[in-house]
Amino acid sequence: MACTLAATSRTAALRTGSPTPPAAPAPARGELGSDLDFLRAHCAGPKEPGESNCFIDLWAEQNLRKQALECRLTNNHALFINSHGLGVLTARGMQYAYQPHQSLLHPGEKPPFFSGADLAKVLGPANVANIHNVLISGCNADASFDAKELRRCFVNATNFVHMPAGKFGYQSMFFQVLTRESSQIKPLYETAAKNQSGQTEFFLENTPSSKATQLSPYIADLFKPGAYVPFKTQLAGRELLVPGQRPYVVSKAVLSSEPPPERGCLHPRDPRKP
């Protein structure tokens, strides 16, 4: 019966001169069931001669590539990922997932989750083969991130920058990895206060104080080529991206690319609790 109905429908369409429109293709789904076209829309590979870096920017300001360029990071064979990070339960157990900032979604839209394999699939084999450094801004509060697992998706990468287990990620600390050597990066301490309008403002200090939240530095898991267990874990810094280069001096242009602070307040990464 279904075949007869379909044939009748096609015949009617031919008689009226209005062909039946083809059915829209189903969106490609990632390993965690989310639409890969969304991820692809926020993915960028090298654009100019002499560039080798890739970007997956799932954060609010959408300025990740701009920040890297202003920090003179153009040909580092690096993948920069700016997103939320949290563990999701899968058939294989708990798996680290990358999630976009809420501002990139429609009101009421359910946030998608993407796996490391999804990132590699969207970037494509040629870009993946050219990536030696992977920098992940997302939180690792539930300790679900595993550099060994991500290395299986990026087999030529030997440097994986990420938050330590049990820690939230913050934009200000991630930005320091692009601009400072690891020896210059120290924890920062965040305090909050209400302004005259009743809004919360955040302030950064170099020393701990009462009720201050510590912002931890990022770390790097370093692998030898072909190995799937890191031989070293250290504080992450710019020297891992540009070995042998002199320390980078942060310019006013770079500083101005950060979200504009109000009265010196810093907009932290707003960690999303699952």
Tens digit of pLDDT for each residue in 71-96? 999 999 999 999 999 999 998 899 99
CA 74, CA 77: separation in Å to the nearest integer? 8
Is the pTM here over 0.75, yes or no? yes
Domain limits at 128?
Answer: 29-182+217-247
Quick check: is 167 in a domain?
yes
pLDDT of residue 27: 67
Lowest mean pLDDT among 11-25, 47-61, 227-241: 11-25
Pick from 17-26, 49-58, 68-77, 200-209: least confident? 17-26
Task: Read off the tokens for 143.
Answer: 């300790």
Q: Exposed, middle or buried: residue 258 (CB in 10 Å: 0-12, 13-18, 19+)? A: middle
Reply yes or no on whether the pLDDT at 119 is more than 90. Answer: yes
* Number of domains into which the chain is organized: 1
Q: Is 193:203 a contact under the CB 8 Å cutoff?
A: yes
**Do the domain assignments include residue 112?**
yes
Residue at 256 is within a domain: no
Q: Could you tell me if residue 178 is inside a domain? A: yes
Residue 212 lies in a domain: no
- pLDDT over 90 percentage in the chain: 66
In a domain, 88, yes or no: yes
